[in-house]
Amino acid sequence: MTPSVDIAARERSDMTGSAGGEVDPRIARTRELLWSALVRLIDERGYASISVSDIASRAGLNRATFYRHFEDKDDLFRKGCSAFFDSLFLELETGGPPAGGGALDWSEEYFGRLFQLVRDRRETFAILGGKRSDPEFTHIMRDKVDAFTIERRLELFSGPREDQAAAELDAAAVSSLLSGLLAKWFVDTSRFPLEKVQVAYRSALTGGIPPYSGSR
């Protein structure tokens, strides 16, 4: 299952410089080629069987060029996955506020936007989170979702909290819910379609989860 979009172009971030200082376009392009090659090889062969030579060859580069940018394939995988999530959250935050104003972080439009971005990247998600990928993806996803929830969403919409520890626990609960549901989706996309994942996420945050919440 090869992604139908140019995933490297979509997932620009710190790996290519767009989330921080400017990077020479040639350097950015080289890193994009290597990341795109790795994702496609994971889909075709599985992460464990891929070598640096395989990645460089698929990207049309040589090993020396690879090592000028990354320490090894694990370094490329970590930075590429981090870039993937940075791009998603940046697009979520810069897509414009939902109509109506007010406390809109849990609005229908917000949830729709969040899961539309996931849906747009579903093929890449399926590869990176699939059985043939590196299990480290789940940990990277959890860390990135935690950081986004704690540093951006909770602070932005809840304002200052006297009990910072409680605020961080609330954010951890929210992010763990999203990470857990997405991980479930990776395991069996036919049994757990993204639409059901979206409904479960929104329902849990806005109305609780019966019977755990006491609601029916």
Amino acid at 171: A
Q: What is the mean pLDDT of the chain?
A: 81
User: Is a pLDDT exceeding 60 seen at residue 177?
Assistant: yes
- Per residue, the 3-state secondary structure of 127-174, as one string, reads HHCCCCCCCHHHHHHHHHHHHHHHHHHHHHHHCCCCCHHHHHHHHHHH
pLDDT of residue 44: 97
Amino acid at 82: S
- Per residue, the 3-state secondary structure of the chain, as one string, reads CCCCCCHHHHCCCCCCCCCCCCCCHHHHHHHHHHHHHHHHHHHHHCHHHCCHHHHHHHHCCCHHHHHHHCCCHHHHHHHHHHHHHHHHHHHHHCCCCCCCCCCCCCCHHHHHHHHHHHHHCHHHHHHHCCCCCCCHHHHHHHHHHHHHHHHHHHHHHHCCCCCHHHHHHHHHHHHHHHHHHHHHHHHCCCCCCHHHHHHHHHHHHHHCCCCCCCCC
pLDDT of residue 31: 95
User: If you average pLDDT over each of 89-93, 108-112, 166-170, which comes out highest?
Assistant: 89-93
Whether the Cβ atoms of residue 179 and residue 107 lie closer than 8 Å to each other:
no
Lowest mean pLDDT among 20-34, 117-131, 154-168, 173-187: 154-168
The residue extents of the domains of the chain are: 7-73, 76-207
Q: If pLDDT is split at 50, 70 and 90, which confidence band does 94 have?
A: confident
High-pLDDT (> 90) share of the chain, %: 43
User: Is a pLDDT exceeding 80 seen at residue 114?
Assistant: yes
pLDDT of residue 4: 39
- Burial label, 121 (beta-carbon count in 10 A; 0-12, 13-18, 19+): buried
pLDDT of residue 14: 47
Which residues have C-beta within 8 Å of that of residue 41, sequence separation ≥ 6? 50, 54, 55, 58
Which residues have C-beta within 8 Å of that of residue 2, sequence separation ≥ 6? 40, 43, 44, 123
Question: In the predicted model, what is the mean pLDDT of residues 119-135?
Answer: 93
- Which CATH topology does 7-73 take? Arc Repressor Mutant, subunit A (1.10.10)
pLDDT tens digit sequence for 45-74: 999 999 999 999 999 999 999 999 999 999
Q: If pLDDT is split at 50, 70 and 90, which confidence band does 187 have?
A: confident
Q: Is the dihedral of CA 25, 29, 30, 34 positive or negative?
A: positive
pLDDT of residue 10: 45
pLDDT of residue 167: 72
Q: If pLDDT is split at 50, 70 and 90, which confidence band does 148 have?
A: confident
pLDDT tens digit sequence for 1-53: 444 334 444 444 446 544 445 678 999 999 999 999 999 999 999 999 999 99
pLDDT of residue 92: 87
Q: If pLDDT is split at 50, 70 and 90, which confidence band does 181 have?
A: very high
